[in-house]
Structure 1
Amino acid sequence: MRKPTVLALVVGLLAAVVGVALMPRAPRLCERSIGDADLAAAVRAAVDDPQGLRGLAVATVEGGRVRTAGLGDRDPAGSPVEPGTPFEIGSITKALTGMLLADQAAAGVVRPDDPVSAALPRVTGPTREVTLAELASHRSGLPRLAMDPVTDLIPAYWANLTAGDPYAGWDVGRVVEAAGDEEPGDGRGAVHYSNFGFALLGQALAARAGVDYPQLLDRRVLRPLGMTHTVFPAGPGSLPPAHAEGARAGGRPAQPWVSSGYAPAGGAWSTVEDLARLLGAMLAGTAPGADAATPRFTEDDRNRIGYGWFTTRYGDREVVWHNGGTGGFRSYLGYERATGRGVVVLGNTDRGVERIGLRLLGVPADEATEAGGPAGLLRWLGPGLALVLTFLGGLSLLATVRRGPDRLTLAASVAWALLYLGLAHRLGDWSTLPGAVWLLGAAVAASGVVLAAYRWPDLPLVAGAPRWRRMTSVGVSAAGAALAVAVILA
């Protein structure tokens, strides 16, 4: 076995060298910046690790002065982020929807305590009695998402796995129909975050006005504020020009989330320049529906909520805020009434930016960490998955070569050694794990393939278990392989 072992080592080394061109590369915030240099420097000081970030657009508002900066790249090609670059802002849209409710209530069009059916008679079942205020404060008892376990669970899981659009196909009619199938749970009256509840709220307000939601929001909130670059794309092909491209922190490109039904919960694209106009008006109290930010209900000992807007206490500070997260974007918008200071941070990967925003507001680092994303074991889930998938196939192949029952088993092990490498590349979080680890896994798999080729001539086609059982096993393995290929190519 000396010759094949030496050859396997040589081939493994060559595979690692050749694999440099294919190894996973996580986005990394580069040194380029456009706009206010002092602000850009402050942002970099608030970024603990540039790995996993590709681009950031930032704005601060204080004393009537607006400062903006763009850092890094808006896409993999290296196009620069500018203050006017459009980003997907996700759930910051909910803050706008809350303002729309406050505006329509002030105009006498609706009352916050009206049941949703008063504005949207098509809603049936127990949900029809939920009030607009309950929807706007996440106290409706409705689930986070309207999901049929038979028809929706697999598509939602697939979208999460492949960085796809979980809201594809959810138009207004489907949201309204789904409301009739949902029932407020025992948690009604307590704060439980619900994307579906906000989607229903926005559609109810639009139905009452007799226009679609984007038109109503533009007429009542966006246009009066001069937010001309805040838009709701009708589809992936109608995204705003020169927009940022979203990605997972590990580097996988993410599809935009486009849904007319869920638009009020998180369908907007905007710029830090537009959102700075919103902040300035909120701080001045002149924004349409600004009363939405007034805390009305208590979530816990640190957090209260108004209509869409949260208020959180950090020591002796109170920050009014909302954040957002989609498949490939993160966003944060917050302001402090006592200091008259506000901040917007938009990023085009799924790595959280809340900590950056809080640091720019002056919240101490140890308190700002609390809003920085998953903690404990959860933060290591992505890197752990990358590590396991990188080596699982190659090590399994080496074990199979040693016992070598038959060619069928060996061929399946070779195929899975390669597939696991592909899955590790696509699903693993390489923002905290060096891409060179993947090269080592590729070397192990390549060495196993060489040793398998040496064993091949001496093995029978099928051995051991009855042929029917082996063929069934092959069929199951082939189906799994097809699914793995789909995940890799999606």
Structure 2
Amino acid sequence: MGKFTPLDTTSPVHGDAELAEKFLSTLGKRRVYALAIVSVAEGATRLATVGAEHDARFELGSVSKAINGHILASMIADGTVNAAQTLGSLLPLGECPASDVALEELATHTSGLPAHGGSRLGVWRKGLRAARGREADTETVEELFGQLRRASPQKQRYHYSNLGGAALGHALAAADGISYPDLVRARFASPLALPTALVRTPDQPLSERDVRGVTFSGREATPRTARGYAPAGGISASADDIALFLQALVAETAPGMDAPSEWLEVDDGLSLGAGWHISRGEGRSLTWHNGETGGFSSWIGIDRSADRALMISCAGHIDLDGTAAAMLLAT
């Protein structure tokens, strides 16, 4: 594998060069190696990719949790599940504390489940694998269920949990009698006619359409494949898919549009939707989520009062929160 070349403002752009340059000019010494950026505002959609084509797939990481929130809200709306339904009613967990956790608690990170399942040593090893660009969450679905059976939820107002995010996705899939990758296809990709969005499975090799992730050290990252933690961050999608999703969010035609509404107020500056964070300040409100895998960084946000949305996904590791939020809220 040859050395990856970081992008800069001189890199060739597919699509809206002004939009791409606006983001790339903020990088400074930070490095990204492929970029997809989509903006929907004032009835217009702007899209640019750099180092990839418009239909090339990027790993979205924990942006998947926002998508799961929409799936949950759509399933509540059609009566398949209800917000207070417990994990134990949907997953084979037996008699354990996690069985009593409600779906809405998983969606709002108020279940009290730890950030990750397993031992402290196991969590440390996950961090080491992630830093090296290897897939951190290697558990099978059954191993994830084992972590849930051994977990001791400590009820609290808000505690971000990948274990809870994974449990929610598998519970919703079980309610539909299908696997999580099939749930994403049936409840997200198909209704929005997204041709490339998927959850990669271990038997599914990368294709020419898939962007290669890049580690902190500039090496090719191991692609994320669907295992136990797939619902916590396993969705991949292209800029073309992202554009259709953002358009549906702004038009409020996406499945489960109750998801980005306020489900729980944490404090004066933060509320939670189903899979979404809602930040408030200086008279503005921003609904958002970020994501990271071994080789990718992503961010999605909606300014619902102004009918705007923005999503950025890139190969490489970069904190997108400040830059992306500023781009979305800029007048």
Q: TM-score range by the shorter chain?
A: over 0.9
Unpaired runs of 5+ residues, structure 2, are: none
Q: Partner residue of 2:37?
A: 58
Q: Give runs of aligned pairs for residues 111-122 of structure 1, distance below 5 A.
A: 111-122=82-93
1:173 equivalent in structure 2: 142
1:299 is paired with a residue whose SS is: strand
Does 2:307 match 1:302? no
2:203 & 2:266 partners in 1: Cα distance?
36
> Deviation at 1:190?
1.0
2:126 counterpart (137, 151, 156): 156
The reply to whether residue 126 of structure 1 matches residue 97 of structure 2 is yes
1:39 is matched with 19
1:26–1:355 CA distance, 2 compared to 1 (3 A): farther
The count of aligned residue pairs is 329
Equivalent residue for 1:256, pick from 212, 218, 223:
223
CA 1:54–1:161 in 2, change beyond 3 Å: closer, same or farther? closer
- Distance (whole Å) between structure 1 residues aligned to residue 252 and residue 32 of structure 2: 34
- Which stretch has the larger CA shift, 25-34 or 96-105? 25-34
Q: Does 1:338 align with 2:308?
A: no
Corresponding position of 2:197 = 230
Q: What is residue 76 of structure 2 aligned with on the other side?
A: 105
TM-score, length basis structure 1: 0.63
Q: Name the SS for the 1:355 alignment partner.
A: helix
Segments ≥4 residues shifted beyond 6 Å: none
The equivalent residue for 1:216 is 183
Residues 352-361 or 306-315, more deviating? 352-361
Give how far 1:131 is off: 0.5
State the Cα deviation string for residues 310-331 of structure 1 (Å, max 9, x = none): 1112422211111101111100
Shift of residue 157 of structure 1? 4.4
- TM-score between the two structures when normalised by the length of structure 2: 0.92
2:58 to 87, 110, 114: 87
Work out the CA distance in 2 between the residues paired with 1:42 and 1:25: 22
Map 1:240-279 onto structure 2 (within 5 A). Answer: 240-279=207-246
2:328 aligns with 361
Structure whose alpha-carbon radius of gyration is higher: 1
| Structure 1 CA distance for aligned equivalents of residues 123 and 253 of structure 2 | 43
Structure scoring higher RCO (CA < 8 A, sep ≥ 6) equals 2
Structure number having the greater helix percentage:
1
Deviations along 1:192-231, one digit per CA (max 9) or x if unpaired, are: 1001101001111111211111212221222111122111
More strand by share: 2
Any conservation in 2 of the 1:28–1:50 contact (CA below 8 Å)?
A: no
1:322 aligned onto 2:293: no
CA–CA distance in structure 2, aligned partners of residues 261 and 248 of structure 1: 22
3-state SS in 2 of match to 1:110: coil
Offset of residue 111 of structure 1:
0.8
CA distance in 1, matches of 2:111, 2:78: 24
Deviation of 1:361 after TM superposition, in Å, equals 1.1
Instruction: Output the amino acid matched with 2:185.
Output: D
- 2:112/2:159 contact within 8 Å kept: yes
